Homo-oligomer: A and B are copies of this chain.
Amino acid sequence: MCKKNVIVFGGDGFCGWPLCLRLSNAGYNVTVVDNLVRRKTDIELECDSLTPISPLSVRINAWKELTGKEIKFEYINVSDHYHRILTLFDRVKPSAVVHYAEQRAAPYSMKSSHHKRYTVNNNINATHNVLCAIVESGLDIHLIHLGTTGVYGYGTAGMKIPEGYLTVKVDTDGGEKELEILYPASPGSVYHLTKTMDALAFLYYNKNDEVRITDLHQGIVWGTATDETMMDERLVNRFDYDGDYGTVLNRFLMQAVIGHPLTVYGTGGQTRAFIHMKDSVNCVKLAIDNPPKKGERVKIFNQTTECHNIHILAKKIVRLTDSEIRYYSNPRNEAVKNDLAFVNDSFLDLGLNPITLDDGLLVEAMDIAQRYVDRCDRDKIIATSMWNKDKKVDRKGSKKPRR
C-alpha cells in the first residue's frame, strides 16, 4: 500500500478533474475512475459546458506533455461494476480513494421519476460498492466522500451547524442525559436524500469494519478554475450555466456577462453556503493528508467558507456589472427565507486560508465566461425541474419578488 496512490471516482467531473490535477501536481499517483456520465448527460440535456472541455485522453495527454506526470484512467461504472473496483484496489493498493461518483445536481434529480430513480440507484449503489470493496479488499483504505451542506437542511435550530455531530440532552428514567448524535438529516431533494443515506452507510461500515472515512459536507462551489486548469486550454474545467447543473453564483456571473437578467427563484431570501473551487480542491487534499485514526469515528467536515443570502449576492453582481434581477417562481419546495451558519473549524485548524467572495475572483470567473460567450445557449438558462406537482415552469419571471 503506497501513501501516494490515490483513486478518484468521478475524476472527470466538475470537482473531480481539478482535484486530480492538484494531486498529480503534488506528487500523488492518480487513477481516475469514471464512466464519463457527466458528458453523456450533456447530450441528454442538449446542453454543454460553457467552456469547451477536451476529451479525457486529451486532458491526460496534455497534462503529461506539460508536467511529465501521468494520470491513469479506468472506465468503470462504480454503481455497477463491483468486481472491477475490487480488482483495481488490489492492483493499485491505494491509501486513499476519493468518491465523487454520484449524480450531483438537485434539479436533475427532480426532473422526473426516471431521474429520481437514476439518482437513488446510482448514488446509493456507488457509495455502497466502494465501501463493500474496501472491506473485501482487506486493505486499510481511507475513503473521502463529497457530501453536501444540504444534508443538514437549510435552516438552523438557532445555532451554527456543527460538523456532522450534535450534542443533545434527553430525558431518561435516571434524569437528563447527554448524547452525541449525527446531526438530524433534513434532505431537500432526492439528490440530498441520497447524501443523507450515504451518511448512514458510513456510520455503519465505520462501526462494523473500522473503515476510515472522511465525509465532506461541501457548500455550493463557485468559480471553476484552479492554478492547474489554467495552465493550458486543454485542461480547462467545466463551466455549467444551465438550470440543472449550473451552480447559482456561476449562473449569475454568466448571466451578467451575456446581459440576461439574473434569475432569482422565489424572493431570493434563501441563504446558502459557498466555497470557491480552489478551496474545494485544497480542502480535499487536506482531508487526504489527514486521515482519521484506525477505529476513529467518521470524520465529518463542513467544507464551506462563507454563507450568503441569494438576494444580497444578486445585488452584489448587479452593482459590479450593471445587470438587473428578475424573479421567477421557485421550482423548489423550500422555505421562502432562511438563516444559515456553519462551524468550519476543522479545515481552518488544518491550515485552510479561506477564499471569500472577492471581486477579483468574480471578475476572473466572468473573464472565463466572456471568452466562451458564443457557446451559450440561452434556452438552457431557466430552471425547468419542478419539485412537485404544485410547481410550474416560469419562463417569464417578473421584476418583483415571487413567493
User: Which of B135, B176, B187, B387 makes the CB contact (< 8 A) with A203?
Assistant: B187
Contact between chains at A170 and B170 (CB < 8 Å): no
> Interface centre among A82, A179, A204, A388, by most B CB within 10 Å?
A204
In the complex, which residues 183-228 of chain A have their Cβ closer than 8 Å to any Cβ of chain B? 184-187, 189-190, 193, 196-197, 200-201, 203-204, 207-209
Cα distance, A375 to B333, chains bound together (Å): 56
Contact between chains at A124 and B200 (CB < 8 Å): no
Question: Which B residue's beta carbon lies closest to that of A158?
Answer: B172
Contact between chains at A170 and B167 (CB < 8 Å): yes
In the complex, which residues 113-170 of chain A have their Cβ closer than 8 Å to any Cβ of chain B? 113, 116-117, 120-121, 124-125, 128-129, 132-133, 135-136, 138, 157-159, 166-170
Q: How far is the CB of A51 from chain B (nearest CB, A)?
A: 34
Contact between chains at A388 and B173 (CB < 8 Å): no
- Check A389 for interface membership: any CB of B closer than 8 A: yes
Residues of B within 8 A of A132 (CB): 113, 116-117
Q: How far is the CB of A22 from chain B (nearest CB, A)?
A: 32
Q: How far is the CB of A180 from chain B (nearest CB, A)?
A: 9
Q: How far is the CB of A344 from chain B (nearest CB, A)?
A: 17
In the complex, which residues 60-109 of chain A have their Cβ closer than 8 Å to any Cβ of chain B? 82, 86
Q: How far is the CB of A131 from chain B (nearest CB, A)?
A: 9
- Check A396 for interface membership: any CB of B closer than 8 A: no
Q: How far is the CB of A145 from chain B (nearest CB, A)?
A: 15
Q: How far is the CB of A110 from chain B (nearest CB, A)?
A: 9
- Check A349 for interface membership: any CB of B closer than 8 A: no
- Check A379 for interface membership: any CB of B closer than 8 A: no
Cα distance, A176 to B168, chains bound together (Å): 10
Cα distance, A128 to B114, chains bound together (Å): 11
Question: Which B residue's beta carbon lies closest to that of A172?
Answer: B158
User: Which of B170, B185, B189 makes the CB contact (< 8 A) with A166?
Assistant: B170
- Check A181 for interface membership: any CB of B closer than 8 A: yes
Contact between chains at A117 and B124 (CB < 8 Å): no
- Check A27 for interface membership: any CB of B closer than 8 A: no
- Check A374 for interface membership: any CB of B closer than 8 A: no
Q: How far is the CB of A301 from chain B (nearest CB, A)?
A: 20
> Can you give 15 A-B contacts (C-beta < 8 A)?
A117-B128, A120-B124, A120-B128, A135-B388, A138-B389, A157-B170, A157-B172, A157-B179, A158-B173, A158-B174, A168-B170, A168-B181, A181-B184, A197-B200, A207-B333
Residues of A in contact with B (beta carbons under 8 Å apart): 82, 86, 113, 116-117, 120-121, 124-125, 128-129, 132-133, 135-136, 138, 157-159, 166-174, 176-177, 179, 181-182, 184-187, 189-190, 193, 196-197, 200-201, 203-204, 207-209, 333, 387-389
